Amino acid sequence: AKEIGRNNLQLFNVEMAAKAHEKLLHQEELRDAIARQEFVLHYQPQVNLHTGRVFAAEALVRWQHPERGLVTPADFIPLAEETGLIVAIGDWVLNAACRQNKAWQDAGLPPIIVSVNVSARQFSEGDCVSRVAAALRDSGLEACYLELELTESLIMQDVPAAIATMHELEALGVQLAIDDFGTGYSSLSALKSFPVSRLKIDRSFVQDLPGDEDDRAITGAIISLAQKLNLRVIAEGVETQAQVDFLRAAGCTEIQGYFFSKPLPTTDFERVFSVCHAS
């Protein structure tokens, strides 16, 4: 039994070493990807049910890998977070999204807001505020057309520091949203002191609508909370007409999800966007 134990331990070590090595390789690869700018943004439309129009889009990063093709964020954001490479990637995303949005405006498309996801390290390290200011200045985009999505858990890591940074961002004129709302632990009293303009209801509360009684209660409560606090509210991950109907009846008029569109490459997004505004 002792022998087996030792062999297992050895195997375990070999496996761990292999894992560590693989991680190092991936880290190197990710570093190269940043240097070569192998990232692209896809844009997911956000629709206002009242007007039927696309009024905003969420920018979602993908890694255009030379061999593996399009890599989804779930497969590289965690490592990027862990290694701190997310700061450089986030910077690229921010600049690319601002430039693209300005280019759409310059091309004569109706102005929309582009939302960018901000990771915890990007927010707390590397002088987030001046990076955002630089992206706006370099692109020439007006601040009100940029929204930053902050998750509840990011804010809750250090509430006073987060509020201070949020106020600085607010002073720049950018919009702030709380992403994945309802999944974190922000207290209602804390929410009152966040200078945010909207809440994004997490997909996990939307996916079982309208059948799930708990989720009906939760989404209904978030929507009325937003209304009472004078915040806008958007539901994400909306896939069905029944979900749209429930959300509309509950008072949520901003919708994002596969029901309208998946995240789209730039040119596809432009097509959807211009068609929707031509009518």
- 244 interacts with, out of Ca ion, ligand C2E, none, CB within 5 to 8 A per kind: none
Contacts of residue 276, Cβ cutoff 8 Å, sequence gap at least 6:
45, 52, 53, 54
Cβ neighbours of 220 (radius 10 Å) = 17
Contacts of residue 160, Cβ cutoff 8 Å, sequence gap at least 6:
none
- 210 interacts with, out of Ca ion, ligand C2E, none, CB within 5 to 8 A per kind: none
DSSP-derived letter for residue 107 is: T
Tokens 């990076």 appear where? Answer: 131
Binding footprint of Ca ion, residue count (CB under 5 A): 7
Binding of residue 125 to Ca ion (CB under 5 A): no
Closest contact distance (angstroms) between CB of 236 and ligand C2E is 6
- 263 interacts with, out of ligand C2E, Ca ion, none, CB within 5 to 8 A per kind: ligand C2E
- 258 interacts with, out of ligand C2E, Ca ion, none, CB within 5 to 8 A per kind: ligand C2E
Which of 29, 38, 81, 212 forms a contact with Ca ion (CB under 5 A)? 212
Looking at the Cβ atoms of 20 and 205, the one nearer to ligand C2E is 205
- 119 interacts with, out of Ca ion, ligand C2E, none, CB within 5 to 8 A per kind: ligand C2E
Question: Interface residues for Ca ion in 19-58 (CB under 5 A)?
Answer: none
State the residues that interact with ligand C2E by CB under 6 A.
44, 60-61, 72-74, 77, 86, 90, 93, 117, 119, 179-180, 203, 236-239, 257-258, 263
Q: Coil, helix or strand for 158?
A: coil
Question: Interface residues for Ca ion in 59-98 (CB under 5 A)?
Answer: none
Which of 44, 46, 95, 117 forms a contact with Ca ion (CB under 5 A)? 117
Question: Interface residues for Ca ion in 142-181 (CB under 5 A)?
Answer: 149, 179-180
Kindly list the distances between the CA atom of residue 16 and the CA atoms of 13, 80, 87, in Å, as whole numbers in the listed order. Answer: 5, 20, 27
How far, in whole angstroms, is CA 21 from its chain's centroid? 30
